[in-house]
Amino acid sequence: MLRTTAARPGPLAAGVLLVAALVAAPARAADALNYFKNYFVTGDYVAVGVGLQHTGVNGFATGTLTVDPAQIPPGAEVVAAYLYWQTISSSGAPDPSALQGAKFKGNDISKMAVLLSTSGTAPCWSSGGATGGGGSKATWSFRADVQRFFPRVRPANPNQPVQVEVTGSHTVTLPDMGGSNQLPSTLGAGLILVYRVTGYDPATNYQRPRMPLRSVVLYDGGFTMNNLTRQMQVTLQGFYEASRSSPFARMTHFVADGQANKTERVQITSTASAADNRVVAINPFNANTGFEATTFENLPLEPGAMKATVTVDPGGSGSFDCLSWSSVAMSMVVQDRDGDGILDVQESRTEWSSKPSRLASVYPSWPLTDPTGAPLPDLGAMGLDPDVQDVLVHVDYLTGADGHSHLPAKSALQAVATALHNGPPRPSLVASGLCAANAAPGQCPIAVHFDVGSNYQPPPSFRLSSCASASTWTTDCAIVPAALAKGGNAIPEALCSASGFSPSGEPCAFKGFAGVVGWKSGFRAFRDAPVNRAQGGAACSLGQTGCEPRMPRNRKDIARYALFAHALGYASPTDPSVPRKTSGIAECGGDLMVSLGLWDFQTGTAFMQGSTLLHELGHTLCLKHGGVVASGALEPNCKPNYQSVMNYLFQVRGLLTPQGVPTIDLSKQVLPPLSESALAESTGLGAATPYLPRWFAPVSASYIDTALATTPATRRCDGSRLQPGDPAFVRIDGDPRLLPAVDWNGDGQIAGTDTQDVNYDGVPGQSFTGSNDFATMDLRQVGARRAVGSRAMSYSVIDPTTGVAPVPPAPAVGGGLSLDTGFSDLGFSDLGFSDLGFSDLGFSDLGIGDLGFSDLGYGELGYGDLGPPTDEPLGPGDLNLDTAGSLGNAPNFLTAVALKGKVGGVQLAWSAPNVGVPIAYQVYRVEGASVTPTNFAARALVANVAGTVTTITDISQVLKNNRAFTYFAVATLPPPPDCTPTPAYNCVDNQQSSVSNFATVTL
């Protein structure tokens, strides 16, 4: 008895619109349903329903909710899934039997069910369709977050992302006694899925998004329209601004008890005035005694509409239907002309004040408020602009008991802001006329706004107005004014005791470590923890004056949350009591974490902070380690023809300018394809590049690395462990003197083509596709956050109640509980232990996704986008320290300057590697303007100095006028932590780096 109503055709026919009734407006009624959630997704929702009344056998009705694959586009990711159902039971409170045994796909949902109206609503019990003798009965509406119950499908091809399977048939089993006069009696159930499809369409050269940005708003509760209550009305808000060019909405009603022979009228208005009501449908609810999911398509909203009032009443009909609602969903394309995911009307007050007055009346004052009444932040005053792509990043950080701080260095923020500001034009903005195709750096900026509280504020002379022009923009433009800031919260690290308990007494996984944060429960606990900013971020309870989440909920669709933590809560593969030294983690969405506390100086170098921040920020823009390519496949990491910090080749060492300056940047061009089987030396990468080529070659082939005894890589470039038989490879930087030629095998000759595992992933013969990050990035996912209630990557290794690991169906992903979660002391105790994200672990069933704010979760954000597995089946997290050490940490930016005067000589200066603290440097000199096998063989060791020295003067007698000399430096480093011995390196001896850039001086 499938009662899902087929989609209505149309835009509404003109004839129907003429019916728009000018009936007298009833007094403005209270909303029949409550605001539940709003989403901003590059996708939409799907709703299906099934009627169940009187179908029970042995106390239970079983039905099938069927999602046709045609209802969801290929490549969609599910971001939310809610089951609604209605059961008639005793009034006052539902009898326990109304829920007992409730199942979705065979999983118990009775304990996670959320009762939507605490007093129930009138049952449509009498045969006439109106409320009859049901005084002892009530209709109860329930909701459950069922996202976790959909199976994950791991494709056979590991280069394809994991899918969460939601299409097909889903069985629902609910209490129903079958007979027409027995309780409980379930009317039916409906399923709402919210999905997204990220990115831009390669078939249009990335000019058009695959799907536009839509808002989906969900309202729910319990409401019965009958002879006592002859109208259902609800004003839907939370979408803020419908598209001005295509203001059509979809709307679904989950409604029970409709009868074909009793009529009703559905109307909608964008102005809250009944005079503007447009008829949507006459008598659409006719499922008789069942339940239906009725979807209306192409509802005409007014251009730029900000709210929509839906009214259902009998119309002019004398006979009226008794109808019971549990949910209404609506979606529409929203107005975001610069494609940054932030609506025009949120970015600028002018967009609001210029509305037609009848539309402005629905939001009569500025600033706009979210559906809970909380004012939205004043983004215009922060410098955001509806015609410029903006990225707002709320930054919080942990601080150690010994005084170390994870507040990112100002230079790290500046480097990220500069890279994004100077990006090339995005094709979508060129197509829409917001950028010129040949825009110079800074003329088609991505304006990043770091909310770091009162840190790094510009001088008083700074004017925000200077930020609009490329010629006057400075990195000060990237700092949110302190008066508008909510970020920059310092959070003390908590210690996991030797016996494995946090200070608040919760079990923790990493004994003796502080500041370890799990992804994503622990992360979310920090983000959403209620704090009182005026009291230095002290814990408080929501509802108290001055108490709000660290990242206020009204920023959830506007700001990305960046937590600079000490370490990521994933266990080391070799010792589960120790966290991995992973640099960070992020999802294609709104959340990222940088975790460099187990790196140098407990904070990582400023360069690594910036590089990792841009890398993780890139993941929130849906960029991947191998770039985004037209086929949608996950391409390998470490591709030489992908010059981006997304690529592990460049995250550690940076992208080198011809002068050897390590730079933080994303890929700005599509380089030609590169084949590991045909590496042409004379043509190299096949195009001019802003940065030097980098690749891997056998150490035995490279005359320089053989002679200098460079330590071969101890990891494959993608972070996976070396396998028996893996040859010893080293990382090589291109010599700008040879460009465009590349000496792929490092033998000092430019000749022929080479065949080698140039990305050092253990897979020979690959072909690599170039990728332009700025063309493929998608800024519109800012509001996408994985639901903690969903089953995704962050399973723990430990069940806090039993101390044992969860069993299947939990996927065997390693992980650890967040130490710093501090459940009770963060004021979350009112939600209960399970609510705080332990449903991630698979053993809580309290409908978590309903409580938190990581609503927009989804099944898959965590792992398909993190690239192919590294050394674990699912490779959690990003580049780790061991891999970083193995990627070759040569000295940087070597300069050679001839000194004038009596003594003369050549002054040499360089900077330290970005990872690792050198023990010593060796500086070499060859005669000539370049390095060749011949002059290299005659090289002179100019100096062997301590690792603290970064400048020397060469006053050798061989330095003679009118001759050129070329210098290079190498570093000696201690063995990397967590090093795994390989045939080429024993993890005991010091490491020898590869060479710095070559610096030539002519005397």
Listing DSSP states for 427-451 in one string gives HHHHHTTSS-TTPPTTSS-EEEEEE
Residue 380 DSSP SS3: helix
773 binds, among Zn ion, Ca ion, none (CB under 5 to 8 A by kind): none
The stretch among 55-63, 248-256, 562-570, 714-722 that binds Zn ion (CB under 5 A) is 562-570
Does 44 bind Zn ion (CB under 5 A)? Our answer is no
Interface pick for Zn ion out of 566, 668, 716, 925 (rule CB under 5 A): 566
759 binds, among Zn ion, Ca ion, none (CB under 5 to 8 A by kind): Ca ion
- The residue count for the chain: 1003
Interface pick for Ca ion out of 390, 747, 820, 978 (rule CB under 5 A): 390
Return d(Cα 995, Cα 888) in angstroms, integer: 9
CB atoms within 10 A of CB 556: 24
Site track 331-350 with Ca ion (rule: CB under 5 A), x = hit? -----x-x-x-x----x---
Distance separating the N- and C-terminal Cα atoms of the chain? 91
515 binds, among Ca ion, Zn ion, none (CB under 5 to 8 A by kind): Zn ion
The stretch among 65-73, 328-336, 404-412, 833-841 that binds Ca ion (CB under 5 A) is 328-336
Among residues 986, 990, 992, 950, which one has the least CA distance to residue 971?
Answer: 992
Nearer of residues 265 and 520 to Zn ion, judged by Cβ: 520
400 binds, among Ca ion, Zn ion, none (CB under 5 to 8 A by kind): Zn ion
Return d(Cα 769, Cα 686) in angstroms, integer: 13
Minimal distance, residue 639 CB to Zn ion, in Å:
14
Based on DSSP, count helices (H) and strands (E) in the chain, helices before strands.
14, 47
Listing DSSP states for 783-811 in one string gives T----TTS--S---S--TTTSSPPPTTS-
Nearer of residues 557 and 878 to Zn ion, judged by Cβ: 878
- φ/ψ region of 971 (left if φ > 0, alpha if ψ in -120 to 50, else beta) reads beta
Does 597 bind Zn ion (CB under 5 A)? Our answer is yes
The stretch among 151-159, 160-168, 533-541, 590-598 that binds Zn ion (CB under 5 A) is 590-598
Interface pick for Zn ion out of 178, 400, 576, 811 (rule CB under 5 A): 400
Does 686 bind Zn ion (CB under 5 A)? Our answer is no
Does 878 bind Zn ion (CB under 5 A)? Our answer is yes
Nearer of residues 502 and 759 to Ca ion, judged by Cβ: 759
579 binds, among Ca ion, Zn ion, none (CB under 5 to 8 A by kind): none
Does 515 bind Zn ion (CB under 5 A)? Our answer is yes
Return d(Cα 379, Cα 392) in angstroms, integer: 9
**Count of residues that bind Ca ion according to CB under 5 A:** 12
Minimal distance, residue 615 CB to Zn ion, in Å:
5
The answer to whether 298 touches 50, Cβ cutoff 8 Å, is: no
Does 591 bind Zn ion (CB under 5 A)? Our answer is no
The answer to whether 641 touches 671, Cβ cutoff 8 Å, is: yes
The stretch among 68-76, 428-436, 595-603, 985-993 that binds Zn ion (CB under 5 A) is 595-603
Nearer of residues 73 and 400 to Zn ion, judged by Cβ: 400
597 binds, among Zn ion, Ca ion, none (CB under 5 to 8 A by kind): Zn ion
The stretch among 172-180, 225-233, 394-402, 464-472 that binds Zn ion (CB under 5 A) is 394-402
Return d(Cα 451, Cα 115) in angstroms, integer: 38
Minimal distance, residue 409 CB to Zn ion, in Å:
14
Sequence-distant (6+) residues with CB within 8 A of 320 are: 129, 130, 225, 226, 227, 230, 262, 263, 264, 314
566 binds, among Ca ion, Zn ion, none (CB under 5 to 8 A by kind): Zn ion
Question: Is the Cα dihedral 294, 295, 300, 302 positive or negative?
Answer: positive
Minimal distance, residue 490 CB to Zn ion, in Å:
11
Listing DSSP states for 103-156 in one string gives EETTEE-TTT-EES-TT-B----STTSS--S-TTEEEEEEEEE-GGGSPEE--S
Give the position of tokens 């011949």.
934
Give the position of tokens 């917001």.
434
Torsion over CA of 807, 808, 810 and 811, rounded to 10 degrees? Answer: 110
Site track 750-789 with Ca ion (rule: CB under 5 A), x = hit? -------x-x-x-x--x-----------------------
Minimal distance, residue 508 CB to Ca ion, in Å:
39
761 binds, among Ca ion, Zn ion, none (CB under 5 to 8 A by kind): Ca ion
Among residues 100, 94, 27, 26, which one has the least CA distance to residue 59?
Answer: 100
How would you class 114 by CB atoms within 10 Å of its CB: exposed for 0-12, middle for 13-18, buried for 19 or more? Answer: middle
Amino acid at 740: P
Nearer of residues 347 and 878 to Zn ion, judged by Cβ: 878
Site track 346-385 with Ca ion (rule: CB under 5 A), x = hit? -x--------------------------------------
Nearer of residues 407 and 435 to Ca ion, judged by Cβ: 435
Question: Cβ-closest residue to Ca ion?
Answer: 390
The stretch among 91-99, 390-398, 517-525, 581-589 that binds Ca ion (CB under 5 A) is 390-398
The answer to whether 928 touches 965, Cβ cutoff 8 Å, is: yes
Using only the alpha carbons of the chain, give its radius of gyration: 31
Does 587 bind Ca ion (CB under 5 A)? Our answer is no
Nearer of residues 493 and 799 to Zn ion, judged by Cβ: 493
340 binds, among Zn ion, Ca ion, none (CB under 5 to 8 A by kind): Ca ion
Residue numbers at the binding site for Zn ion (CB under 5 A) = 400, 515, 566, 597, 878
Residue numbers at the binding site for Ca ion (CB under 5 A) = 336, 338, 340, 342, 347, 388, 390, 757, 759, 761, 763, 766
